[in-house]
């Protein structure tokens, strides 16, 4: 009997819990199954400083029940959390470092005065983006309070799951759509997903600018989205002394795409290419998933790719 590798992506967001099982190859994953569940009020509250899970037993029960519905023996999962749970910064370091630990020490020293909590209480991860001839090193840094990340890990373990990767929603979206965006030399990625607007500029496929803001549904939403995109790109233009971006990729819920099109066109001066989840995943016969459902699981799919 042939066994195919399976990977599970778990997304925890404002609209509930989502789990997806993928197989196949990373360049064209295959959807095996997926499930979602909502949380009761006062179960979860996202914060970058305080514990997020207010009712651990209820949270663990929902996670375990949803996982059991997947009918898989795989329990290792990659977790996606809202960007608002932590902080992401792109830093230029003046000197090279000889080891990963030395790099962490340099980053902690540089950031210790700008964080609202003690740097010792922060879980830090980073990725080296590039190195200049002058010796400067550019890094992408993710920061989450240790107490926050530990609570998620402990309760997932209690529910029977083993989280081996944790990342933010925007980066899991980028991971899922990377096959398309990697074809562009310089691009800006704009997503409005789970009530959060994110803007990321990619230079040669490498993040060069990032900003994420929560913009919940309601009055004035479109105007706030336009202002946030505009201010983000103005900040990038000031940093770079121009706007060398030639392509614009957008990921919006199906009902928002056409309404937001003129806003992103005006803010960027570019014609948007809308990313559709269904184009980057295959579905075996018997798997029923419409366009809207697939779009709602994009971050869970991106998270699963880390283990595929």
Ordered alpha helix ranges (H), the chain: 56-69, 100-111, 146-158, 169-176, 178-181, 221-240, 257-268, 291-296, 298-304
Helix residue spans in 70-160 (DSSP H):
100-111, 146-158
The end-to-end CA distance of the chain, in Å, is 20
Q: Is 229 helix (H, G, I), strand (E, B) or coil?
A: helix
Which residues in the chain land under pLDDT 50? 1-2
Q: Residue 13 has what pLDDT?
A: 95
How confident is the model at residue 1, as a pLDDT? 36
CATH 3.30.420.40 residue ranges for the chain: 7-83+147-173+280-307, 181-274
Predicted pLDDT of residue 221: 84
CATH number of 7-83+147-173+280-307: 3.30.420.40
For residue 198, give the H/E element and its range.
Answer: strand 196-203
Contact 176, 298 (CB under 8 A): yes
Phi-psi region of 251 (alpha: psi -120 to 50; beta: other; left: phi over 0): beta
Query: CA-to-CA distance for 31 and 199, rounded, in angstroms?
Result: 28
Q: Where in the chain is the domain with CATH 3.30.1490.300?
A: 85-145
The CATH architecture assigned to 85-145 reads: 2-Layer Sandwich (3.30)
Is residue 156 within 8 Å of residue 163, measured between CB atoms? Answer: yes
**Highest CATH level, class, for 181-274:** alpha beta
Question: CB pairs under 8 A, 24+ apart, for 155-158?
Answer: 155/53, 155/56, 155/59, 155/60, 155/63, 156/10, 156/63, 156/77, 156/79, 158/56, 158/60
């Amino acid at each position: 009997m042939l066994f195919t590798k399976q990977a599970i992506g778990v997304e925890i967001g404002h609209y509930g819990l989502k789990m997806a099982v993928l197989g196949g190859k990373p360049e064209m994953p295959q959807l095996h199954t997926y499930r979602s569940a909502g949380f009761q009020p006062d179960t979860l509250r996202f914060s970058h400083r305080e514990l997020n899970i207010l009712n651990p037993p209820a949270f663990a029960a929902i996670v375990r029940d949803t996982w059991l519905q997947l009918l898989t023996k795989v329990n290792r999962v990659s977790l996606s959390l809202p960007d608002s749970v932590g902080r992401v910064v792109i830093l230029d370091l003046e000197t090279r470092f000889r080891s990963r630990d030395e790099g962490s020490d340099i980053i902690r020293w540089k950031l210790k005065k700008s964080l609202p909590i003690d740097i010792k209480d922060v879980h830090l991860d980073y990725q080296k983006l590039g190195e200049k001839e002058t010796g400067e090193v550019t890094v992408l840094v993710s920061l989450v309070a240790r107490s926050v990340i530990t609570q998620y890990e402990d309760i997932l373990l209690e529910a029977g799951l083993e989280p081996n990767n944790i990342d933010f929603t925007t980066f899991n979206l980028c991971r899922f759509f990377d096959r398309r965006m990697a074809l562009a030399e310089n691009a800006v990625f704009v997503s409005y997903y789970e009530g959060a607007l994110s803007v990321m500029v990619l230079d040669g496929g490498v993040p060069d600018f990032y900003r994420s803001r929560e913009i919940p549904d309601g009055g004035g939403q479109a105007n706030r989205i336009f202002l946030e995109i505009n201010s983000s790109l103005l900040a990038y233009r000031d940093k770079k002394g121009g706007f060398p971006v030639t392509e614009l990729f957008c990921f919006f819920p199906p009902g928002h795409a056409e309404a937001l099109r003129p806003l992103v066109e005006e803010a960027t001066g570019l014609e948007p290419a809308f990313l559709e989840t269904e184009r980057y995943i295959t579905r075996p016969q018997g798997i029923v998933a419409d366009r809207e459902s697939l779009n709602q699981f994009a971050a869970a799919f991106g998270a699963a790719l880390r283990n595929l």
